[in-house]
Chains A and B, each alone.
Chain A
């Protein structure tokens, strides 16, 4: 029986392929894409005002509510603004170390630096945020360090959220920029120097344009991850992000349709972002 089956499969490579693909494609299409479809459908449902039960009638009232409620618009604006600030911060922080790894360090040091950047990326996300909470609290290490200079830390709030997000997603920016810079031939940089380009000029006119797709590739992660997070704002601030509203509506308020509608907002923003990123050639750097 087993031999006959393998014989049949050997003669029919398409059947082999079908057998291989049915599991993973079935899972991803039915369990995952199917769920995404349910999410979009659920965003059109509504909550019965009296019973609090979900009514399976279709309409755009959830989106209307999101659009017309000022606080929701503020929350979307805040989330996008912090996501943009985090992206810029990470690009600035990532560039020197990525350039050092790609063009200056010896192979041994380079390998060490790759590990030094990768390891924290994988270590527990929640614990990293929690550690910042301990450091930023009133009697924490940040204020202790700043006190001799007569300064005071940011405490919990938007600044803390920006700082922690920048910390969390930094490795996602370092790695693509490093890979992008490594692809720039040394001769191009030498040519710029030989033609009289000062370091700053070389950076602005040669390195930056060539590395831009890699920066945009990294920014996809820093931007998308910030949009979808609700743990960090909860731990180091009292302000709300898109994620917090979604989470609160699923759990406490039990308004699943509104939560589903709000969850489609980051998807829409990311689609626009990805379209722009593709125009800038970021997909070749992924």
Chain B
């Protein structure tokens, strides 16, 4: 296709500006994590790694990390089971309301976070009369994590087709054997990818969490309660860098696991929809 040199240059500049806009804040927080001074002024005065050990020894941070890990693991486990079951039903059966399932799965992330948070909060406190604890955090996170497991599993099931499963049945395997020896192995890497994404999502979530956490503190909530305390700021910066790394690494791994061998699949808004859950 012909594109004039002028247009090409303009597009390059536009692309550069947008990329810089996207990446600069992440780089800045990375630099501040090594900031020697307690002051947050720019330019920073010197580099140090002492805040990393201070953050590591901080009891509040440790407790928050542990809460976040527990919530992430619990939500991921639940989302794995529910997402896989829904994906199997939608891709291997025809039934009334099949399209509704995809809509239902995506709804918790499509609606604004305060709506989901408020809805769960009203139900827990007014109808069920349960205390807001780690358990309620897990229920909330699992609800919006289902979609990433579901999306990954549906995409894989669509790509693998049913011929292997039919062959297995023809050779005399029953339904359970076929599931264990054929369906599950072909799903494995997609499920691992879904689990990594679900964990990253849960680890990072704050809006729904504040409505379902009660007095529990996850790592994002710890940041949210400490960003206004000047003394804690260096540690907040370190925790910030940590959170960025913990959410990026699983995404990178998940991307590697589900990569289309032909490299042709373009990520559409479906990918964006799944990622929208990060908020």
Contact = CB atoms under 8 A, between A and B. Distances in A.
B175 A6 contact: yes
B201 to A, nearest CB: 8
A66 interface: no
B1 A39 contact: no
Contacts of A20: 85-86, 88-89, 93
Interface string A107-131: 1000101111111111111111011
Contacts of A167: 21-22, 25
Contact of A263 (B93, B115, B210, B252): B115
Contacts of A285: 268-269
A170 B123 contact: no
Contacts of B2: 190, 193
A22 B25 CA distance: 44
B89 A21 contact: yes
Interface residues of B, number: 100
Interface in A8-40: 9-10, 13, 16-17, 20-21, 23-25, 27-29, 31-36, 38-39
Contacts of A260: 118, 122
B168 to A, nearest CB: 12
B18 A94 contact: yes
Nearest to B220: A126
Contacts of A6: 174-176
A225 B122 contact: no
Contacts of A36: 115, 119
A172 B110 CA distance: 12
B207 A229 contact: yes
A139 interface: yes
Contacts of B38: none
A259 interface: yes
A50 B211 CA distance: 26
A218 B248 contact: no
Nearest to B13: A96
The B interface, classified by DSSP as helix, strand, loop or mixed, is helix
B10 interface: yes
A193 B111 CA distance: 42
Interface stretch (B47-55, B99-107, B185-193): B99-107
Contacts, number: 309
Nearest to B118: A263
A124 B243 contact: yes
Contacts of A208: none
B14 A39 contact: no
B161 interface: no
Interface in A181-207: 182, 186, 189-190, 193, 199
A9 B248 contact: no
B46 interface: no
Interface in B215-274: 220, 223-224, 227, 236, 240-241, 243-244, 246-248, 251-252, 255, 263, 266-273
27 contacts: A16-B175, A17-B95, A20-B93, A27-B82, A32-B107, A32-B108, A38-B126, A96-B14, A100-B15, A104-B8, A114-B267, A121-B275, A122-B248, A127-B240, A130-B236, A131-B29, A134-B32, A144-B43, A168-B279, A170-B22, A189-B1, A218-B269, A221-B269, A228-B114, A229-B113, A260-B118, A263-B114
Given A35-B119, A35-B123, A38-B119, 13 more contacts: A20-B85, A24-B82, A95-B14, A96-B18, A120-B23, A130-B236, A131-B28, A134-B29, A139-B40, A170-B18, A171-B272, A190-B2, A264-B115
Interface of A: 2-3, 6-7, 9-10, 13, 16-17, 20-21, 23-25, 27-29, 31-36, 38-39, 42, 54, 93-97, 99-101, 103-104, 107, 111, 113-128, 130-135, 137, 139-141, 144, 167-168, 170-172, 174-176, 178-179, 182, 186, 189-190, 193, 199, 214, 217-218, 221, 224-225, 227-231, 235, 242-243, 246-247, 250, 256, 259-260, 263-264, 266-267, 270, 285-286
> What are the 4 closest A-B residue pairs judged by CB atoms, nearest first?
A228-B112, A96-B14, A139-B41, A176-B269
